[in-house]
Amino acid sequence: MVFIDGWIPVLTYFSAVENGVCIMAYQIDKDTCIGCGACADACPVSAISENDGVYEIDADTCLDCGACEGTCPVGAPKQA
């Protein structure tokens, strides 16, 4: 949590950056994903989309908040 002007709490999320590429804390295991879309529905910034029946996380949009991990019935989103 960060305080702006010493009193307003603001939640912040940071992803690691390596060689100019965003490294996500969460990734979806394509072998485990059943394509139900629960993770995409839970994502607060719409960073998860369907591609060929499997869901993927857009590293540039993802906040690494973990909302997807808690809603997946098979545990496909995992911390990398």
Domains and CATH numbers, the chain: 2-79 (3.30.70.20)
**Could you tell me if residue 35 is left (phi over 0), alpha (psi between -120 and 50 degrees) or otherwise beta?**
left
Q: Which residues of 35-52 are buried (b: 16+ CB within 10 A; e: fewer)?
A: eeebbbebbeeebbeeee
What digits encode the pLDDT tens for the residues 16-65? 555 666 566 799 999 999 999 999 999 999 999 998 888 999 988 998 99
Residue 20 neighbours by CB under 8 Å, 6+ apart: none
What single DSSP character describes residue 3? E
| Residue 60: predicted pLDDT | 87
